[in-house]
Structure 1
Amino acid sequence: MGKVLVLNASYEPLNVTNWQRAIVLVLKGKAEQLEHNGKFVYPEFPLPTVIRLRYYVRVPYKEIPLTRRNIFYRDAHTCQYCNYTGDELTLDHVIPRSRGGGDTWENLVTACVRCNVKKGNRTPQEAKMLLKHPPRRPHSSLYFEVRKYLKSGTHPEWHKYAIGIDF
């Protein structure tokens, strides 16, 4: 039947759970239903797609590790200069390492081999190559999971709660 986005009491995405768990939380009064998809579990009970906890849950910040795989995933396996999606992808330092650019979320992007060679040891401005999306650190550990559902289009009602998640 589908997944349900769980929001903290402050409306921040907290988790993605299954519909059965979401219904239990709503029936026990621990959460309220914010969105549904028009399907019904019982004649008077719509199937939730977004719920919000009635109490605030403090979640310790968990930093997403900076790895090659996570950079590719953040950039949707797409060249950030020409939108190429294929097997010939590499990582590019927006500010080259030889000019003091480091290995950070804000300085690494996915690039195809052709664009990476064309840009060379220059900044995007010097090479006259614009980035499609400015690189940034993902906001939460839930970033990749929520983004997957947003991109697939299966849960359009999640968009207004997924602030800061590009796709």
Structure 2
Amino acid sequence: MRTLVLNAGYEPLGIVSFKRAIVLVMNQKASVVERDDDDPVCGPSDMYDRPAVILLSRYVRVPRERSVPVTRRGVLRRDGNQCAYCGRNATTIDHVQPRSRGGADSWENLVAACLKCNNMKSDRTPQEMGWDLRFVPRPPQGVSWAVRGSERADPSWEPYLSMAA
């Protein structure tokens, strides 16, 4: 079980394990905003609701320049698991400017690609192949990218994730 953590200003910060959320609530560093429908948790001297969303008691400063790390899974998710060249189901990622020619592992240079297009393109650029990209690759934006784990969001988190978008 996972719990969404909100900053004191209701800004989504992250997702923690159920156990970590209970510890924060027990130590009065957070309060439960949304409860899970499961049975309550029995502590040594008190009973606690199972938290789905918690609110921190004190505001935590977050650096504004939170960059999203480039991952294979992230590129596939950003591109909707569709090949950037033909639109079919993508299972691999491709460097638009090949690494052998100085292409970087960056959001602007990586796209999702089907195995056929990736193999055909090899270490050439799309221009050399006479291909066009279906979109311009950009870094992902939005709260669903800033909050790790929110791609598998619990339905009770929706109001809090959409407030920050």
> Could you state the TM-score of these two structures normalised by the residue count of structure 2?
0.61
Percent identity, aligned pairs only? 30
1:26–1:83 distance in 2 versus 1, CA, 3 Å: farther
- 1:146 is matched with which residue? 150
- 1:73 is matched with which residue? 73
Query: Are 2:95 and 2:111, in contact at CA under 8 Å, matched by a contact in 1?
Result: yes
Q: How does 1:19-38 map to 2 (within 5 A)?
A: 19-38=18-37
Q: How does 1:14-163 map to 2 (within 5 A)?
A: 14-42=13-41, 45-60=48-63, 61-66=65-70, 70=71, 72-74=72-74, 75-76=76-77, 78-81=81-84, 82-86=87-91, 89-93=92-96, 103=104, 104-115=106-117, 117=120, 120-121=126-127, 127=132, 130-131=134-135, 135-137=138-140, 143-147=147-151, 149-150=152-153, 155-163=154-162
Which runs of 5 or more residues in structure 2 are unaligned? none
> Could you state the TM-score of these two structures normalised by the residue count of structure 1?
0.60
Provide the C-alpha distance between the structure 1 equivalents of 2:83 and 2:162, rounded to a whole number of angstroms: 21
CA RMSD of aligned residues (A): 4.0
Superposed CA offset, 1:2-24 (max 9, x none): 11111112223223222233233
1:145–1:39 distance in 2 versus 1, CA, 3 Å: same
Count of aligned pairs:
143
Query: Are 1:109 and 1:135, in contact at CA under 8 Å, matched by a contact in 2?
Result: no
Provide the C-alpha distance between the structure 1 equivalents of 2:15 and 2:148, rounded to a whole number of angstroms: 11
Query: Are 1:92 and 1:111, in contact at CA under 8 Å, matched by a contact in 2?
Result: no
Provide the C-alpha distance between the structure 2 equivalents of 1:134 and 1:158, rounded to a whole number of angstroms: 29
Which runs of 5 or more residues in structure 1 are unaligned? none
Q: Which amino acid aligns with 1:158?
A: W
Q: CA deviation at 1:64?
A: 4.1
Secondary structure of 1:109's counterpart equals strand
Q: CA deviation at 1:109?
A: 1.5
Query: Are 1:3 and 1:16, in contact at CA under 8 Å, matched by a contact in 2?
Result: yes
Provide the C-alpha distance between the structure 1 equivalents of 2:115 and 2:127, rounded to a whole number of angstroms: 14
Q: CA deviation at 1:49?
A: 0.9
Provide the C-alpha distance between the structure 2 equivalents of 1:37 and 1:110, rounded to a whole number of angstroms: 36
Provide the C-alpha distance between the structure 2 equivalents of 1:139 and 1:26, rounded to a whole number of angstroms: 28
Secondary structure of 1:39's counterpart equals coil
